[in-house]
């Protein structure tokens, strides 16, 4: 009797927690449990499964078709933390406004955002995309080729970001970065931003866009941005890619230089 009474007393709290965190539970199911099961059954990585879907459902040489296929797979089949279509439109708008000639992407993952950026480049523009995972880099290269982009437009660099950034000037001949997109490990955002500042590759007006600064979050990055005084900045509020009810945001920074 006592146990039943205690259980009944906690039932409203349990229901409240389930309702409040239902979107996070769905994300846990889709991003972790489904992935684990299909990894075991298929013998392929999640990124390889996504590539197979895109390969069979997209039109080669058509970046829009490839992005649409990715979005369908990620929203209806398995979750992958691409930037997605909603936040992707914010990125598209910023790229259209800035018309950057030299773009650095940190975290190519499986090539979704690389395609999204490359298709927006003006004539003569070039994207340098950095991915530390060999397997994901291989998928990215296939996706870029499927979309019709060659080495003249996109250069894929397979190495950790903290090793690449200090070498961009000496090994890749870069003098200035017009636009930087961060979508790699969130714990790397703050130290990599400081590496970029120290590199001398950020000029007045250089734009840095960082995804997922609210979820899963990049508090050290945002704290550095606030305290440094080097940027005009704001956070574009949105929801997590391919999810409902989970608040997220993209930070937009405009470098002002040392005051």
Residues annotated as part of the active site: 183, 186, 211-212, 241
Both structure tokens of 202? 């950020």
Q: Are 76 and 224 in contact (CB under 8 A)?
A: no
Cis-peptide, bond into residue 151, ω within 30° of zero: no
CB of 241 closer than 8 Å to CB of 128: no
- Report the relative pairing of strands 154-157 and 231-239 from DSSP bridges: unpaired
Separation between Cα atoms, residue 147 and residue 232, nearest integer Å: 34
Residue with tokens 């969130």: 186
**H or E segment at 255?**
strand 247-255
Please work out, in degrees rounded to the nearest 5, the angle formed at the alpha carbon of residue 106 by the alpha carbons of 105 and 109: 95
Whether 120 and 96 have beta carbons less than 8 Å apart is answered as yes
Residue 20 contacts by C-beta under 8 Å, 6 or more apart in sequence?
Answer: none
């Amino acid at each position: 009797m006592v146990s039943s009474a205690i259980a009944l007393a906690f039932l409203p709290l349990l229901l409240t927690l389930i309702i409040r965190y239902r979107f996070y539970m769905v994300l846990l199911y889709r991003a972790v449990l489904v992935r684990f099961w299909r990894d075991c059954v298929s013998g392929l990585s999640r990124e390889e499964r996504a590539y197979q879907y895109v390969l069979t459902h997209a039109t080669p040489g058509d970046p829009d078709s490839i992005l649409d296929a990715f979005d369908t797979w990620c929203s209806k089949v398995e979750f992958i933390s691409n930037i997605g279509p909603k936040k992707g439109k914010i990125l598209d708008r910023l790229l259209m406004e800035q018309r950057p000639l030299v773009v650095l992407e940190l975290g190519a993952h499986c090539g979704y955002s690389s395609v999204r950026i490359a298709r927006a480049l003006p004539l003569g523009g070039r994207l340098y995309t950095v991915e530390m995972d060999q397997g994901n880099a291989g998928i990215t290269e296939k996706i870029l080729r499927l979309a019709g982009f060659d080495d003249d437009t996109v250069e894929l660099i397979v190495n950790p970001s903290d090793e690449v950034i200090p070498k961009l000037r000496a090994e890749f001949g870069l003098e200035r970065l017009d636009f930087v997109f961060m979508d790699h490990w969130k714990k790397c955002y703050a130290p990599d931003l400081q590496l970029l500042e120290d590199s001398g590759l950020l000029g007045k007006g250089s734009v840095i866009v960082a995804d997922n600064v609210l979820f899963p979050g990049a508090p050290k990055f945002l704290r550095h941005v606030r305290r440094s005084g080097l940027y005009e900045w704001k956070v574009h509020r949105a929801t997590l890619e391919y999810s409902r009810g989970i608040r997220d945001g993209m930070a937009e920074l405009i470098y002002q230089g040392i005051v």
